[in-house]
């Protein structure tokens, strides 16, 4: 089976920047923040290996799927035409369902 191409919606890239800034503020270490965000990106890329393995979240949007990352973040994505689109990445214990609905 071929690996699905993974792309990031602009909102997901904004989410990664926000997560970087938050981890940087907590850790005071640019290297720690870079490594953490790098691990999130790697997890997002690995979704392409088994794109339909994430939990369906049709209650939020038809075709939306979700995977957890290190018990500290939620990755939301869609699979369409053999491609994965990362739509949002929510960090911490935030109510991602409400945040997703408000992000449009």
Q: Are 27 and 103 in contact (CB under 8 A)?
A: no
> What is the Cα gyration radius of the chain?
13
Q: What's the pTM value of the predicted model, to 2 decimals?
A: 0.87
Q: What is the pLDDT of residues 6-65, one digit of tens each?
A: 999 999 999 999 999 999 999 999 999 999 999 999 999 999 999 999 999 999 999 999
SS3 (DSSP) at 72: coil
pLDDT at 98 over 70: no
For residue 7, the surrounding DSSP H or E stretch is strand 5-8
d(CA 6, CA 14): 16
Domain residue ranges in the chain: 5-103
**CATH 2.40.50.140 for the 5-103 domain, yes or no:** no
User: CA 20, 63, 7 angle in degrees (round to 5)?
Assistant: 40
């Amino acid at each position: 089976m071929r690996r699905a191409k993974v792309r990031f919606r602009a909102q997901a890239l904004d989410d990664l920047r926000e997560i970087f800034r938050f981890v940087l503020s907590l850790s005071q270490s640019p290297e720690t923040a870079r490594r953490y965000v790098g691990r999130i990106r790697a997890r997002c890329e690995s979704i392409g290996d088994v794109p339909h393995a994430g939990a369906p979240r049709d209650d939020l949007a038809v075709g939306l799927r979700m995977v957890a990352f290190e018990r500290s973040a939620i990755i939301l994505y869609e699979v369409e035409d053999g491609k994965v689109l990362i739509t949002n990445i929510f960090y911490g214990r935030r109510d991602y369902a409400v945040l997703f609905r408000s992000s449009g």
